[in-house]
Structure 1
């Protein structure tokens, strides 16, 4: 079986695809990973075969201006309302037609069309038609993968890395559009995908948005109801090439608390002085505080307490083996790795689906959800002490670890994909 996997050039979205890619290789299948040229080293460093297509996008440098323009046309220039603090329970407006239209319009103009531009889609389709994969698996925002799958006649599957807000919002938006007269049904995502796919003889269908099915690494209690076909997959952490440092080869002399904000960060780490102040306050906890951050940047502000260890990078799944709690920004990789390791979490979420998962985890009793824009250093310290002192947090985190380990293994997913190809 030939499997083409594709993701736009962004490391946190790519990393979640790697264990599945290797499971397919170990099962004897041919795997190619297509991405933007400048990102191919990430692929080869993971031991996979890279296929460069298109030209490198400049999403992180130019998208804001374009998104401002489209939002101004919609009469709303508050960009953060469409990507941050997406509280499905506390912000009912996020399910309104106006909000969902603005989300799609801004995402298409400022994000989707930048990382799935014509050059990338063309290169991906050209390679897919030449190589003739049986399946195309695509990171959930890399819609060009769905077009390539249709263009070459392959099965099409999304690879999710967090809560499926795309499928959840899409279902609600289509329901609301169905209540309008046809001429009133404005659908920016459909219009863009229709235009992008037309040169390859591909007509629009909802499979271009959500695939034929989705591979979901979240345990069942945390999946959103989208009405879509899902292939469950047990989450396996992968943080990229790593070497276990000497200090991490065994447990510390005192309990450890990890502070990490991944690639997305959070508000108290944006400014070195603020970050330093928070860490100094956290040092009052009877534990070793292990921080993944730029040590030189923090030391330039001033000395840190002796029980604060700053490391530039440590493989998170290894670090968390020896931690009693973790503070993080709510990113899907950090959240899922902590769940996998059975470590209580203190979430300070703000971006995309992070709030949803933080709320779900708190409801399960395995962590706390704090507002990153409002929390003080003293409140964060108190939260850490509560999580460390109340056994229920650890017990529930361990319970969720056991439940998640019962999800389908990577080998089970491979067999499901094999069956999918056989029945097509």
Structure 2
């Protein structure tokens, strides 16, 4: 079987697909990633074969956004509906510009299956035009069933009809690494697969064993989040965590954001570009934005979380995690800017063992899902 992978130009989204790509390769299938330049390094670091496709481009010019954007968590409200429709417009038009390129690539390589990011809807068009089955891969919580999907159909149904198919085709199946307890309530059922933490390659740091007399807190807001928000959410979270007694704070950042962490207190350690799965199980708590890479790695390892969501799916994730009892959510700018509230929330998560028990329960739910090796066999059967 030949599998053509079509990701969005976001490294975290491709990382969520890497374990399945490995499983497909281990079963003897060919895997090729149609790779925009934004994820080329991520694909190569994972040992995946790539073929270049053009960059999808960035967001449209306009007034800068003020984060966080809680309206993303309310798709039924006017503001949330507008945000999700605008997101779909940007994503669809960015990739649709390169539909001829994707078609030429697929026609030449002749895949048996397209493995497509759930938001990379151009892959569904390619599959429909070439009569190749499409498996959509969710990166985590999937809030795209409402206004995002509606807008995608508005933009792509006419394109499909003009090329001889009745509309945007449905996928053959949807792959879902999100445990049911955390999935968006309106997400259609998917084919479950166990989430396998992959945050890139790297060496185990020499400080990985936590000090015996302290509790370790990880602060990781995520590269994509910080690229959008600037340093304030990271600095506020680090200051609140470091203010507590008898804690060690590990601040996980990319090299690009290391410069924002001058004058850290003595109880802080910087983990620059260190894969989270190498040390996160030594932490009693993670403070994060709810981005899927950090959040799902913490969930898989049974670590409670304080979630400071900024955009997109992060509000759904934070709300559902709090409902499951495995963490707390501070959903808006007022709460996230309140140093006392941040510190009290971190202390509550550390001191109440109920959060840790609920986090372990979610980890067990994730562990009970079928591994990627099982799904590889399912995909081969569907493609045949």
Distance (Å, rounded) in 1 between the aligned partners of 2:282 and 2:247: 12
Conserved? CA contact 2:302–2:363, under 8 Å: yes
Q: Structure 1 321/278 Cα, relative in aligned 2: closer, same or farther at 3 Å?
A: closer
- Structure 2 counterpart of 1:157, from 121, 131, 135: 135
- CA drift of 1:104 comes to 5.9
Distance 1:284 1:84, change over 3 A: closer
Does the Cα contact within 8 Å between 1:268 and 1:278 map onto a contact in 2?
A: no
Q: Is the 8 A contact 2:67 2:333 kept in 1?
A: no
CA RMSD between the two structures: 2.8
**The one of 60, 73, 84 aligned to 1:87:** 73
CA distance in 1, matches of 2:365, 2:284: 19
Cα pair 2:236 2:339 within 8 Å, conserved? yes
Could you tell me how far 1:25 is from its partner in structure 2? 0.4
Question: C-alpha deviations, 1:189-239, integer Å up to 9, x for none?
Answer: 3242134446754441352xxx23210110122223447451111101111
User: Counterpart in 2 of 1:138?
Assistant: 116
User: Which blocks of at least 5 consecutive residues in structure 1 are unaligned?
Assistant: 69-77, 89-93, 174-187
* Deviation, structure 1 residue 112: 2.2
2-side partners of 1:144 and 1:277: how far apart?
A: 39
Equivalent-residue separation in structure 1 for 2:36 and 2:65 (angstroms) = 26
Q: Name 1:283's counterpart in structure 2.
A: 242
Matching of residue 117 in structure 1 with residue 96 in structure 2: yes
| 2:307 equivalent in structure 1 | 347
Structure-2 separation of matches of 1:206 and 1:139: 15
Shift in Å, 1:347: 0.5
**TM-score calculated relative to the size of structure 2:** 0.89
What's 2:326 paired with?
366
Range that drifts further, 101-110 or 393-402: 101-110
Q: Give the count of matched residue pairs.
A: 377
- Give, in whole Å, the separation in 1 of the partners of 2:317 and 2:117: 19
User: Which structure has the larger Rg?
Assistant: 1
Superposed, which structure 2 residues align to 1:235-246 within 5 Å? 235-246=195-206
Alpha carbons of 1:109 and 1:410: their partners in 2 closer, same or farther (altered >3 Å)?
Answer: closer
Pick 1 or 2: higher relative contact order, CA cutoff 8 A, min separation 6.
Answer: 2
CA contact (8 A) 1:260 1:326 kept: yes
1:24 aligns with 2:24: yes
Per-residue CA shift, 1:353-392, capped at 9, x if unaligned? 2111111111111111113412212211111111111111
The two structures have a TM-score, normalised by structure 1, of 0.81
For residue 269 of structure 1, report the CA deviation from its aligned partner.
Answer: 7.3
Q: CA deviation at 1:141?
A: 1.5
Q: Give me the whole-angstrom Cα distance separating, in 1, the residues matched to 2:196 and 2:251.
A: 23
Distance in 2 between residues matched to 1:246 and 1:310, nearest whole Å: 12
Question: For residues 10-409 of structure 1, what are the structure 2 equivalents within 5 Å?
Answer: 10-37=10-37, 39-53=39-53, 55-60=54-59, 63-65=60-62, 84-88=70-74, 94-95=75-76, 102-103=82-83, 105-114=85-94, 116-118=95-97, 120-169=98-147, 188-197=151-160, 200-207=163-170, 211-226=171-186, 228-248=188-208, 250-253=209-212, 254-265=214-225, 270-271=230-231, 275-276=234-235, 278-285=237-244, 286-293=246-253, 294-299=257-262, 303-375=263-335, 376-409=338-371
Which residue in the other structure is 1:75 paired with?
none
Q: Secondary structure at the match of 1:3?
A: strand
As a proportion of its length, which structure holds more helix? Answer: 1
